[in-house]
Amino acid sequence: MDFLHPEERLSREEIESLQLIRLRKVIEEAKKSPFYSRKLKGIEPEDIKELSEVSKLPFTTKEDLREYYPLGFLTRPVSEMVRLHASSGTTGAPTAILYTENDLNTWAELMARCLYMVGVRKEDVFQNMSGYGLFTGGLGIHYGAERLKCLTIPAGAGNSKRQIKLLQDFKVSVVHIIPSYALHLSTVFAELGIDPRSLNLRIFLIGAEPHTEEARKRIEEIYGVKAYNSYGLSEMNGPGVAFECVYQEGMHLWEDAYLAEILNPTTLEPVAEGEVGELVMTTLTREGMPLIRYRTKDLTRFLPGRCLCGREHRRIDRITGRADDMIILKGVNIYPMQIEKVLMARKEVGQNYVIELYKEGHLDQMRIKVEIKDEYFVEDMRVLKQLQQSIAKSLREEILITPRVELVEHNSLPKSQGKAVRVIDLRDK
Ligand code: ADP
Ligand code: ZN
């Protein structure tokens, strides 16, 4: 196995002792910021004698980031900062993350590590179809690819025809793309009569939004590539926090850079081994804006056992969704990804769907609009009705209630420029 960094080869023991040293250092550094100088009052680095004592430290939340916006988390003068990013604002007012030159360097190295791990090399041509600007998926991954000395194309989001032309003209082999856009782009290929498999594509990095194994399989099949799951969030720099290796069994979370805990979101106690909970992380190497026990709201679990690749950085499972993505309907808890799993496994279903919540009288109801591939969108109403019922039935098996299913023509549902909006809530609040 080929490694880019010596840190990838660390044993569990080595990882944990490095984490303890770094955690103590972070406490000391963080205290230089207005937020943590208050929050960590009375806590000294020496108070943490073993890693489990991280539980003595307070949590940091998105609300804290908003309250101390814009500069209240900085450990040094703003003149030492060289870049600013912001979260996409999927769940409310945006927050800003600032980076020193060293921070950008560490981040780019982490990103390069991820790309190298799945086989990206200097000879590859890399096209980044993620939005640039404040969103970290643009520049974040860009600098990782440049570090590996790949020819790097900052294509940005959207403009599908131009994307395809670039892919063809420069024989692009590696692409970073949001999974919902990868599915949509395949319909543009079809319209142009170009088979994506006839291009030079080899590797896709997909992430930034929840998606299912079924969606990944579709993407791999359509494009003839290996698609690797990429996880990150702007509060933890951006992409490069956790990434799948070639075995595609969970994402290695880079524990030399992040201390991760998985906690029960209600009790905030660690979950039992292998159980799903909220991922909470502490930055271990960021100097300008360290964050301690940041509550990501993302739900996942640590996968048990060792990975065949030899890396001992623990793996996290595919993110089920954010804690606040959960839909409660008729007393049943439903995650949008359960619905996607059913839809993407069906050959008749096209590349887009949307879940609508609405009220009928006093009752909450769910309607799922599903794009159907042209070849299955037939004139015969009886055939369509059967298809609709059969989809509703498979959904029922997964989510335990029968949703209303509406079949719509391919490419008729609204597309978002960035992360897909899967749930539309039409109930009055
Ligand atoms: P925002 O929180 O406003 O969307 P970010 O752009 O920082 O801002 O997005 C980070 C979030 O995106 C993560 O907290 C997670 O919910 C989601 N995300 C990122 N990568 C993945 C992935 N591979 N799988 C599932 N969700 C992901
Ligand atoms: Zn591995």
Ligand 1 atom nearest to CA at 91? 3
DSSP H or E segment with residue 190: helix 179-192
d(CA 319, CA 337): 9
> Among the three residues 273, 303, 323, which one is the final residue of a domain in this structure?
323
d(CA 302, CA 253): 10
Task: Among 66, 90, 318, 320, name the best residue to mutate to test ligand 1's pocket (greatest count of ligand atoms within 8 A of Cβ).
Answer: 90
Point out the least confidently predicted range of 212-221, 223-232, 330-339: 330-339
Ligand 1 contact via 284 beta carbon (within 6 Å) = no
Confirm if 334 and 326 have CB atoms less than 8 A apart: yes
Q: What proportion of the chain, given as a percentage, has pLDDT over 90? A: 92
Distance 137 CA to ligand 1 centre (A): 10
Ligand 1 contact via 278 beta carbon (within 6 Å) = no
- Same domain membership, residue 360 and residue 343: yes
Does position 216 have pLDDT exceeding 90, yes or no? yes
Does position 89 have pLDDT exceeding 80, yes or no? no
Q: What proportion of the chain, given as a percentage, has pLDDT over 70? A: 99
Q: Is the dihedral of CA 282, 207, 234, 98 positive or negative?
A: positive
Task: Burial-class residue 1 by CB neighbours within 10 Å (0-12, 13-18, 19+).
Answer: exposed
Ligand 1 contact via 229 beta carbon (within 6 Å) = yes
- Same domain membership, residue 178 and residue 34: yes
d(CA 23, CA 16): 10
Report the number of distinct structural domains present in the chain: 2
Ligand 1 contact via 173 beta carbon (within 6 Å) = no
Ligand 1 contact via 180 beta carbon (within 6 Å) = no
pLDDT at 94: 75
Residues 6+ apart with CB under 8 A from 52: none
List, for residues 163-173, the tens digit of each pLDDT value. 999 999 999 99
DSSP string, 402-418: --EEEEEETT-S---SS
List, for residues 174-204, the tens digit of each pLDDT value. 999 999 999 999 999 999 999 999 999 999 9
d(CA 112, CA 76): 27
- Same domain membership, residue 387 and residue 261: no
List, for residues 98-146, the tens digit of each pLDDT value. 999 999 999 999 999 999 999 999 999 999 999 999 999 999 999 999 9
Q: CATH number, domain at 165? A: 3.40.50.12780
Using pLDDT thresholds of 50, 70 and 90, give the confidence band for residue 417: confident
Residue with CA at minimum distance from ligand 1 atom 9: 233
Does position 429 have pLDDT exceeding 70, yes or no? no
Distance 233 CA to ligand 1 centre (A): 5
- Same domain membership, residue 336 and residue 192: no
> Among the three residues 296, 323, 350, which one is the final residue of a domain in this structure?
323
Does position 210 have pLDDT exceeding 90, yes or no? yes
pLDDT at 304: 96
- Same domain membership, residue 380 and residue 300: no
Does position 91 have pLDDT exceeding 80, yes or no? no
To the nearest whole number, what is the mean pLDDT of the chain? 96
Task: Among 233, 237, 278, name the best residue to mutate to test ligand 1's pocket (greatest count of ligand atoms within 8 A of Cβ).
Answer: 233
- Same domain membership, residue 316 and residue 374: no
Distance 229 CA to ligand 1 centre (A): 12
pLDDT at 88: 65
d(CA 322, CA 265): 11
Does position 92 have pLDDT exceeding 80, yes or no? no
Does position 347 have pLDDT exceeding 70, yes or no? yes
- Same domain membership, residue 317 and residue 355: no
Ligand 1 contact via 296 beta carbon (within 6 Å) = yes
- Same domain membership, residue 245 and residue 271: yes
- Same domain membership, residue 341 and residue 230: no
pLDDT at 330: 87
- Same domain membership, residue 232 and residue 150: yes
Does position 385 have pLDDT exceeding 80, yes or no? yes
Ligand 1 contact via 103 beta carbon (within 6 Å) = no
List, for residues 285-331, the tens digit of each pLDDT value. 999 999 999 999 999 999 999 999 999 999 999 998 888 889 999 88
Q: CATH number, domain at 349? A: 3.30.300.30
pLDDT at 321: 85
Point out the least confidently predicted range of 4-18, 57-71, 77-91: 77-91
Q: How many angstroms separate the Cα of 110 from the Cα of each of 250, 319, 392, 410? A: 17, 20, 43, 39
Provide the residue range defining the domain that includes 397: 327-425
Ligand 1 contact via 322 beta carbon (within 6 Å) = yes
- Same domain membership, residue 37 and residue 123: yes
List, for residues 241-272, the tens digit of each pLDDT value. 999 999 999 999 999 999 999 999 999 999 99
> Among the three residues 323, 352, 384, which one is the final residue of a domain in this structure?
323
Distance 239 CA to ligand 1 centre (A): 9
Confirm if 154 and 141 have CB atoms less than 8 A apart: no
- Same domain membership, residue 370 and residue 311: no
